[in-house]
Amino acid sequence: MSDQGRRVAVVTGATSGIGLAVATLLAERGASVFICARNAGSVTATVGRLRDGGLEVDGTTCDVRSREDVRSFVRAAVDRYGPVDILVNNAGRTGGGVTTELTDELWYDVIDTNLNSVFLMTREVLTTGGMQRRAKGRIINVASTAGRRGMPHGAPYSASKHGVVGFTRALGNELARSGITVNAVCPGYVETPFGESVVRGHIADGAGSESDVLQKFQAEIPLGRYSTPEEVAGMVEYLVSDTAASITSQAINVCGGLSGC
């Protein structure tokens, strides 16, 4: 990251998995990090743990599906630390099943959580967060390799993450001359609670036992193992650095060579 003063980073969905790894790494590299999640207890506990480690972190609850919550969250971040330099849109959920059996509620909730929230949070950071006015910044959207290929029984999730990749490329080109870069990180299979929920979903859809599903997933990865949250966070750290200033509108895989992406 830049060595010219402390930068302010906003990370959504930051109390576990990739979001927690990103928030921790950015704070360790000198950023003031403002986090959110839906659960107040999780936010309080995460902020406490990171502060105990000497890191400059604060946060509050936010339902990223809610325009009002997003606006309040970004205002709180600015009030606490000042204008936002870095936005990491990480909040998301899994969801799928046989497409003809999907409920409207599931479809819309996955799209609202994974895609519409990225638009709402990005717009608010650019405006209320001061990023556009200051004409500098980094926006990183955590997409997925599911945003580069189709996942059987994963239509809502794949559609939402394809949308995130498309939004990233469009906005990156739109802001290309502004001093603000926009990129997506596309994790494959990652060792997180989210990844465990994907496995459970496949089991529920009749894909076999946990061992069967894990063996199938790992067989698709040339590296032969899941990625770690810290490895994904490392890519985010690079993309927000000064060295990455010429990289924008890109969707970059962190997936162990997963085929079809």
Helix (H, G, I), strand (E, B) or coil at 96: coil
Residue 122 lies in a domain: yes
Is the predicted pLDDT of residue 170 greater than 90, yes or no?
Answer: yes
**pLDDT higher than 70, residue 196:** no
Specify the pLDDT at position 222. Answer: 84
Domain assignment present for residue 200? The answer is no
Lowest mean pLDDT among 49-63, 134-148, 159-173, 185-199: 185-199
Could you give the CA distance from residue 210 to residue 202 in angstroms, rounded to a whole number? 9
Q: Which residues are CB-neighbours of 44 under 8 A, at least 6 positions away?
A: none
Domain extent at residue 47 = 8-189+227-253
Within a domain: 65: yes
> pLDDT tens digits for 102-143?
999 999 999 999 999 999 999 999 999 999 999 999 999 999
The answer as to whether 103 is a domain residue is yes
**Strand ordering across the sheet containing 8-12:** 57-61, 32-37, 8-12, 86-89, 137-142, 180-187, 251-254
Judge whether 215 lies within some domain: no
Per-residue model confidence (pLDDT) at position 216: 66
- Please give the average per-residue pLDDT across 19-40, as a whole number: 98
Structural domains of the chain, count: 1
% the chain with pLDDT above 70? 87
Asked if pLDDT for residue 95 goes beyond 70, the answer is: yes
Average pLDDT over residues 47-64: 98
Separation between Cα atoms, residue 240 and residue 180, nearest integer Å: 10
Whether pLDDT at 257 is above 80: yes
Segment 26-40 shows an average pLDDT of: 98
Contact 252, 186 (CB under 8 A): yes
CATH number of the domain encompassing residue 142: 3.40.50.720
Give the Å distances, CA to CA, from 30 to 23, 44, 73, 105, 229.
11, 21, 22, 41, 19
Active-site option among 81, 108, 157, 226: 157
Place of tokens 């299979």: 189
3-class DSSP assignment, residue 66:
coil
Residue 185 near residue 217, CB atoms below 8 Å: no
Domain annotation covers residue 220 = no
Instruction: With respect to residue 121, please indicate whether it lies within any of the assigned structural domains.
Output: yes
User: Is 157 considered catalytic here?
Assistant: yes
User: Has residue 87 got a pLDDT over 50?
Assistant: yes
- Average pLDDT score over the chain: 91
The answer to whether residue 55 is domain-embedded is yes
Measure CA of the first residue to CA of the last residue in the chain; give whole Å: 28
Q: If pLDDT is split at 50, 70 and 90, which confidence band does 201 have?
A: low
